[in-house]
């Protein structure tokens, strides 16, 4: 129990240096301290998730769902930072949120789940799980970029500048980052929905299960698709786009960790 608590705490603390490095940065580009801290942030939750899931049968409860969200989000963020010049600037927003999720995971680490998975799950389930957490990770970063848009817009309207505001990307850069991530999330979510339908047909004989998780995922897919279509055709005001992104993120939150919380905490 003590060793598990220390592992959880270490994984959470491992993300703190990258937020500090980004907040203290005075350069337009991240330096070596940032990259070293980002590597540590990826390794902390990653090692924890691997250690939890490498056993023959592992508990897929609410705590692990949150840790998987954190690990996938920080790994995807590292890839986005490597691919996009201005993405690193949202670090002071994203990392505190992920640390908060990690603390929630620690708080519920003693709650067991009614669902136990084994390493011998079928291909369609593996694909469905991977695309689900991938979509949620991408939307987590996109929602953070949306918050950055909102904060920058608010400072511009008030004609005030804060330390955090100076660190964040411009409204245009943050909005472009948000839309690119949403487009990628929409594609991954489509694969996730299709894999879930394929597994349902092969195992249960029906294509679509009308449960709350499926309905919320489909609603999020439709909302993101509508947002991307409107943005492509006519453009949206940044604040309107941000609201839509946050609503889609809320739907996915209810569909993924929300379901785990209800089943493993409230109902249990």
Cβ neighbors of 166 (< 8 A, separation 6 or more) are: none
The conformational region for residue 205 under phi > 0 = left, psi -120 to 50 = alpha, else beta, is left
Task: Judge whether 73 and 141 are in contact, CB under 8 Å.
Answer: yes
Which pLDDT belongs to residue 229? 79
Query: 239: closest CA among 101, 146, 161, 120?
Result: 146
Other beta carbons within 10 angstroms of residue 165's beta carbon come to 15
- pTM given for the model: 0.85
Q: What is the spatial distance between Cα 142 and Cα 242, in angstroms, rounded to a whole number?
A: 9
Q: What is the spatial distance between Cα 224 and Cα 258, in angstroms, rounded to a whole number?
A: 19
Alpha helices in 108-233 (DSSP H): 123-158, 163-167, 171-204, 212-233
Q: What is the spatial distance between Cα 252 and Cα 224, in angstroms, rounded to a whole number?
A: 11
Count of alpha carbons within 13 angstroms of residue 266, beta-carbon side: 7
Which residue is listed with tokens 């899931």? Answer: 53
Q: What is the spatial distance between Cα 178 and Cα 182, in angstroms, rounded to a whole number?
A: 6
Which pLDDT belongs to residue 265? 46
Q: What is the spatial distance between Cα 65 and Cα 260, in angstroms, rounded to a whole number?
A: 7
Task: Judge whether 34 and 89 are in contact, CB under 8 Å.
Answer: no
Joined together, the tokens standing for residue 66 give: 């949150």
Residues of the chain where predicted confidence (pLDDT) is lower than 50: 116, 119, 262-268
Cβ neighbors of 175 (< 8 A, separation 6 or more) are: 145, 149, 238, 241
Domain boundaries, the chain: 2-267
Query: 73: closest CA among 50, 102, 115, 52?
Result: 102
């Amino acid at each position: 129990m003590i060793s598990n608590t220390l592992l959880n705490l270490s994984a959470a603390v491992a993300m703190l240096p990258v937020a500090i490095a980004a907040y203290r940065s005075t350069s337009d580009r991240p330096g070596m301290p940032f990259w070293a801290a980002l590597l540590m942030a990826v390794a902390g939750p990653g090692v924890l998730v691997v250690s939890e899931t490498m056993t023959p049968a592992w508990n897929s409860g609410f705590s692990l769902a949150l840790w998987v969200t954190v690990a996938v989000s920080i790994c995807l963020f590292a890839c986005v930072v490597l691919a996009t010049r201005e993405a690193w600037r949202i670090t002071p927003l994203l990392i505190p949120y992920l640390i908060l999720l990690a603390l929630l995971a620690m708080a519920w680490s003693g709650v067991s789940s009614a669902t136990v998975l084994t390493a011998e799950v079928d291909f369609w389930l593996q694909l469905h799980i991977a695309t689900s957490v991938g979509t949620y990770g991408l939307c987590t970063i996109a929602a953070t970029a949306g918050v950055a848009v909102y904060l920058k817009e608010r400072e511009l309207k008030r004609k005030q500048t804060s330390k955090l505001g100076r660190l964040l990307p411009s409204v245009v850069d943050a909005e472009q980052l948000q839309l690119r991530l949403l487009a990628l999330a929409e594609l991954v979510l489509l694969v996730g929905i299709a894999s879930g339908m394929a597994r349902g047909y092969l195992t249960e004989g029906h294509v679509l299960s009308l449960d709350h998780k499926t309905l919320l995922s489909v609603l999020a897919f439709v909302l993101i698709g509508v947002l991307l279509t409107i943005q492509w055709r006519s453009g949206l005001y940044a604040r309107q786009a941000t609201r839509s992104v946050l609503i889609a993120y809320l739907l996915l939150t209810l569909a993924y960790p929300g379901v785990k919380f209800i089943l493993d905490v409230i109902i249990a």
